[in-house]
Structure 1
């Protein structure tokens, strides 16, 4: 997750030399409204609580770094 937002003009400037940034240029000024209601109603999907998810992710990253060392 980004910690700060870049102004649009900075993204446009960086997009001239940076291909990943160029892909973002087309998203500037767009608002995307999404939700998970269809997954919840049709599939019975439930999101996981945030705290255990973060802890599990941290543990997986630590285990992964132990294997690569």
Structure 2
């Protein structure tokens, strides 16, 4: 017999996907910066170290923030 909490099948909560879509759209507008960051990570993936691709990430993050119109 299942515990009471598991016996009832609850409806899954719906999620608002708008923030994810907004972030995705902003990131898509920064493909040049994303490619540079990805290339840096890919070329060093066996010996990756913290902040190794910090410059490329900073440029990508700045671009995304500009397209979002806010910072985090």
Give me the TM-score of the superposition, normalised by structure 1.
Answer: 0.25
Give me the TM-score of the superposition, normalised by structure 2.
Answer: 0.24
Q: Which has the higher contact order (CA 8 A, sep 6+)?
A: 2
Q: Which has the higher helix share?
A: 2
